[in-house]
Amino acid sequence: MKLFMDPKENLFHVHTFRCLHASMCEDSVYVERALELNAGSIWFTDHAPFPGDPFGHRMRYEELEEYLTTLTELKERYQDRIDIHIGLETEYFPSFDKSGYYRRLRSDERLELLLLGQHMAEDENGDYTFHWDGELLQEGEAKAIGTAICQGIRSGYFDIVAHPDRSFRRRKQWTDDMTEIAEQIINTAKQKGVVLELNETSKRHKHQYWKEFWELNADQCPVVIGLDAHSPEELMLEQ
C-alpha cells in the first residue's frame, strides 16, 4: 500500500466536543496527548455544519467560526512542538455546491483540508438517503453514496476521501455491483490525485471495513490511515 504519510508520526482524522458525540474535552487535551505519543502532526477534521443546520451529529453552523479561531490559536501556541492542521469532514451534496457552500469554505485560508465523509447522499428529489427505507436503502444506498463520492472528488473541493468502503455498510457480503462502485471511486480519485483514507474505526464495526475494496486499490491511490478519533484515548493506533 502506498502510504500518504506515516500514521505513527501523523495523527489524522480527529473530532472535537463540538460534534456532541465525542469526549467533552478541550481541543488542547488532544494536542497534549499527541505530544505524549511523540507525534509530529495532528489533523483536526470535525464534522462540518451546513447553513440552516439540517443535520445532527455535528456543530451548529454558528459554531464554525469559533472552531476555526480556537484551532488557529492552538496552532500558533504549539507551533514549535507539533504541527496542528485544521480541516473539516463533510459530505458532498449537489444543492449545497450550487449555493456556493464548498467554495465559501475553501476560500477561508484558515481551513487547510476538506475530508469527504459521505455518510449519506442527496437524491434527485432533493431528499436524503437516510429517509429511504426497505430494499432501496439496504441495496441502493451504496450506489447513491458511491456516485456522490465521485461527484465530490470531481468538484475539486476535497483532498481526501474518508472511509470510502463505508459506502457498503448496509451490505452483508461483497458482490459484483460493489466491485463496480469501488472501481469508480478508485478511478475517479486516481484521476484527480485524491487520497483515500483507510479508517481505523471502521475496522471495529461490522460491514464498514471491506478488505475487498482495499485489494482493488492495491497501489492505485495513495492511502492515509485515519483514526476517526472521538476521544484523546483514540489517538493511539491499534497494533
Binding site residues, Zn ion, CB under 5 A: 89, 228
What's the min distance (Å) between Cβ of 228 and Zn ion? 4
Question: Least Å distance between CB 39 and Zn ion?
Answer: 18
Burial of 203 (0-12, 13-18, 19+ CB in 10 A): exposed
The grid coordinates listed for 40 are: 509530529
Which lies closer to Zn ion via its Cβ, residue 122 or residue 228? Answer: 228
Which residues contact residue 134 at a Cβ distance below 8 angstroms, ignoring those fewer than 6 apart?
Answer: none
> Which CB sits closer to Zn ion, 228 or 234?
228
Question: Of 52 and 56, which has the nearer Cβ to Zn ion?
Answer: 56
Yes or no: say if 41 and 85 are a contact pair by the CB < 8 Å rule: yes
Provide the minimum distance between the beta carbon of 163 and Zn ion in the complex, in angstroms, as a whole number: 8
CA-CA-CA-CA torsion for 183, 186, 189, 195, nearest 10 degrees? 170
CA distance 27 to 25: 6
Cβ-in-10-Å burial (0-12, 13-18, 19+) of 65 comes to: exposed
* Helix (DSSP H) and strand (DSSP E) numbers for the chain: 8, 7
Q: Which three three-digit cell numbers place residue 86?
A: 485544521
Between 27-36 and 64-77, two packed helices, what is the crossing angle to 10 degrees?
A: 40
β-pair partners for 128: 122
Please state the closest distance from residue 175 (CB atom) to Zn ion, in A: 26
Is 5 or 183 the residue whose CB approaches Zn ion more closely? Answer: 5
CB of 113 to Zn ion, least distance (A): 13
Closest separation between CB of residue 166 and Zn ion, Å? 10
Give whichever of 91 and 228 is closer to Zn ion, judged by the CB atom.
228
**Closer CB to Zn ion, 33 or 47, in the complex:** 47
For 33, the enclosing helix (H) or strand (E) is helix 27-36
Tell me the C-alpha distance between 36 and 32, whole Å. Answer: 6
Residue 221 C-beta: closest distance to Zn ion, Å: 19
Residue number, nearest CB to Zn ion: 228
Measured from the CB atom, the residue of 112 and 183 that comes closer to Zn ion is 112
